[in-house]
């Protein structure tokens, strides 16, 4: 089997022969992680073998320390925008798969997309993830490009979408170049499972059945000039330890060949999906304890890579995950085309968190986190190599907290309910004091005052 840079034999050998670390070794690894430079592949492998509850708690505590040091109390919010559930693939875990006759199929028109975006903007969203099934054939890219134009064109009062990330099927280099010109943020694609036999079993037909084409999509995207890419695993299809180690091989490959790794990692767990027995009974279920371990170990290993958690998870699970390394979450999500303005199409999977955006924000604020809708780095060109050059020495924090505060202030002024506005305003007043530069603090206070007076979209 040809699996490119994913060394199955090396990973399998390790899983068969490795044992958990002694306490002294564990603490040495965690001390290394606290230097905020990441830990080695071998050290990550050792942490994955930890099962002792007390040792696991030490890993979680270290992840919380790293999250606070690098990201502070910021949490980026976005919403997925599903525009088509047509698909030519036969992913056995997905409700959108080709053979599933139990769901109505729908591809939104541009006018329907406009209504969806208007609904999102009225809620206060500024960032969306555009998602489409792989069923539009040769028209797929043109449809996506037209959709991006439509999304950016929508204005509702003081609101608009300022950044579009996109999750669509792998493209060729020339096609990725066209996509890059459309002002996207991050190109996102999940391998789902890196384990080749499992991948082939779960994707028996359709374009996605080509393991290598899917695996190497990020290389083509970055060759085409897309600075930021997002990878992910669908946990539950195979042994999570194998998947994490393979993911790290993928990251190492991108760093070696492209000079920079992924901007984000997504960590969805398999959830029930219409007509899928596999989704209802995952072959390798990941319990909450192991899920916390996965998130924590990834935060230790790749500390400057964003981590995304979707509304697949319950509100309680998401609260816990924020402390361990998650830096972005979706909110008020719908996973069916047209789901924000109507409800006549089937969802891709079951949701665990059904709260609306304001409810999620109020909960975040009550935990002491600043909800951020910031898109400043993407519009100032702080992406890819430039972002990492600022992030690794800690300089990116000059921009992150101020921009989080101003973008959150916009939400409070224009969209928040009374209780959320009061609690959010109080939190902003407390967080301004944490801006290390007096000059930046004064600039942030000025921006906040101008937003209160009706201005918008102010950022450093």
Band of pLDDT at residue 447, cut at 50, 70 and 90 = very high
Average pLDDT over residues 340-352: 65
Instruction: Determine, yes or no, domain membership for 31.
Output: no
The DSSP 8-state label assigned to residue 233 in this structure reads B
Q: What pLDDT does residue 312 have?
A: 87
Reported as a single tens digit per residue, the pLDDT across 154-170 is: 998 889 999 999 999 99
Looking at the structure, tell me whether residues 130 and 251 fall in a common domain: yes
Indicate whether 61 belongs to any domain. Answer: no
Domain presence at residue 426: yes
Higher pLDDT, 399 or 108: 108
What residues make up the domain containing 445?
390-452
Tell me: do 334 and 426 sit in the same domain: no
Nearest to 189 by CA among 142, 228, 156: 228
Are both 245 and 314 inside the same structural domain?
yes
Task: Look at residue 77 in the predicted model and tell me its pLDDT.
Answer: 96
426 and 297 part of one domain: no
Q: Which helix (H) or strand (E) holds 84?
A: strand 74-84
Is residue 347 over pLDDT 60?
Answer: no
Give, as one character, the DSSP assignment of residue 209. G
* 212 has a pLDDT exceeding 80: yes
Q: What is the mean pLDDT of residues 93-122?
A: 94
Q: What is the pTM of this model?
A: 0.94
The total domain count for the chain is 2
Per the domain annotation, does 40 fall within a domain? Answer: no
Domain end point (choices 329, 354, 379): 354
One domain, residues 340 and 398? no
| 145 compared with 381, residue with greater pLDDT | 145
Query: 29-33 long-range CB contacts below 8 Å, 24 or more apart?
Result: 30/58, 30/59, 30/62, 30/300, 33/62, 33/66, 33/300, 33/303
Helices then strands, each counted (H, E), the chain:
20, 9
Per-residue model confidence (pLDDT) at position 384: 65
Do 289 and 193 lie in a common domain?
A: yes
What the block records as the tokens of 86 is 């047509």
pLDDT recorded at residue 221: 97
Q: Are residues 402 and 331 in the same domain?
A: no
Would you say residue 215 has pLDDT above 60?
yes
> 291 and 439 share a domain?
no
Cβ atoms < 10 Å from Cβ of 36? 15
10 found inside a domain: no
For range 135-149, the mean pLDDT: 90
How far apart are the C-alpha atoms of 46 and 27, rounded to whole Å? 12
Model confidence at 385: pLDDT above 80: no
Mean pLDDT within 57-63: 98
For 351-370, how does the pLDDT look when each residue is reduced to its tens digit (9 = 90+)?
Answer: 777 889 999 999 999 999 99
Residues 429 and 302 placed together within one structural domain of the fold = no
Closest CA to 413 of 401, 425, 402: 425
- Nearest Cα neighbor of 79 from 273, 302, 322, 341 is 341
116 and 214 together in one domain: yes
91 neighbors 97 (Cβ within 8 angstroms): yes
Based on the domain organization, do 90 and 159 belong to the same domain? yes
Q: Percentage of the chain surpassing pLDDT 70?
A: 93
- CATH number, residue 253: 3.20.20.70
Measured CA to CA, the distance from residue 250 to residue 217 in angstroms comes to 11
Domain assignment present for 115: yes
Q: Give yes or no: residues 399 and 273 share one domain.
A: no
Q: Per the domain annotation, does 91 fall within a domain?
A: yes
Read off φ and ψ for residue 19, nearest 5 degrees: -125, 160
pLDDT band for position 1 (cuts 50, 70, 90)? low
Residue 344 pLDDT more than 60? no
Is 243 inside a domain boundary?
Answer: yes
Give the model confidence (pLDDT) of 239-275 as tens digits. 999 999 999 999 999 999 999 999 999 999 998 888 8
C-alpha 39/C-alpha 48 separation (Å) is 13
- In 238-287, alpha helices (H): 240-258, 277-280
Rg of the chain, C-alpha, whole Å: 21
Query: What pLDDT, on a 0 to 100 scale, did the predictor assign at position 392?
Result: 66
């Amino acid at each position: 089997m040809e699996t490119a840079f994913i060394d199955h034999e090396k990973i399998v050998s390790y899983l068969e022969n490795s044992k958990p670390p002694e306490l002294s070794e564990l603490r040495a690894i965690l001390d290394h992680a606290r230097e905020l430079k990441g830990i080695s592949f071998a050290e990550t492998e050792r942490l994955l073998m930890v099962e002792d509850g007390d040792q696991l708690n030490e890993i979680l505590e270290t992840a919380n320390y790293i999250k606070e040091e690098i990201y502070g109390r910021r949490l980026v919010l976005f919403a997925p925008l599903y525009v088509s559930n047509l698909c030519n693939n036969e992913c056995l875990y997905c409700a959108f798969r080709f053979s599933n006759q139990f769901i109505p199929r729908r591809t939104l028109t541009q006018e329907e997309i406009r209504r969806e975006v208007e609904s999102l903007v009225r809620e206060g969203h500024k960032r969306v993830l555009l998602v489409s099934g792989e069923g539009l054939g040769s028209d797929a890219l043109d449809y996506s490009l037209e959709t991006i134009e439509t999304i950016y064109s929508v204005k509702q009062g003081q609101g608009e979408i300022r950044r579009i990330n996109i999750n669509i099927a792998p493209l060729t280099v020339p096609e990725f170049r066209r996509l890059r010109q459309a002002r996207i943020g991050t190109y996102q694609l999940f391998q789902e499972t890196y384990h080749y036999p499992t991948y082939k079993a779960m994707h028996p037909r359709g374009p996605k059945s080509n393991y290598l084409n899917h695996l190497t999509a990020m290389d083509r995207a970055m060759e085409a000039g897309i600075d930021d890419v997002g990878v992910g695993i669908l946990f539950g299809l195979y042994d999570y330890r194998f998947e994490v180690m393979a993911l790290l091989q993928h990251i190492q490959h991108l760093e070696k060949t492209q000079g920079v790794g992924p901007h984000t990692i997504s960590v969805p767990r398999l959830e029930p999906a219409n007509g899928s027995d596999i989704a209802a009974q995952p072959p390798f279920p990941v319990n909450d304890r192991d899920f916390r371990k996965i998130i924590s170990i990834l935060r230790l290993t790749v500390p400057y890579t964003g981590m995304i958690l979707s509304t697949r998870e319950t509100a309680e699970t998401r609260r816990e995950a924020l402390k361990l390394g998650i830096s972005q979450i979706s909110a008020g999500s719908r996973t069916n085309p047209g789901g924000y303005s109507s409800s006549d199409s089937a969802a891709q999977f079951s949701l665990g968190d059904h709260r609306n955006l304001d409810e999620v924000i109020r909960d975040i604020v009550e935990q002491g986190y600043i909800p951020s809708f910031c898109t400043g780095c993407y519009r100032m060109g702080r992406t890819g190599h430039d972002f990492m050059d600022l992030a690794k020495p800690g300089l990116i924090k000059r921009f992150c907290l101020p921009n989080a505060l101003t973008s959150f202030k916009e939400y409070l002024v224009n969209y928040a309910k009374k209780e959320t506005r009061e609690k959010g305003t109080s939190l902003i007043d407390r967080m301004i004091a944490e801006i290390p530069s007096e000059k930046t603090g004064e600039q942030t206070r000025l921006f906040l005052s101008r937003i209160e007076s009706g201005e918008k979209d102010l950022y450093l």
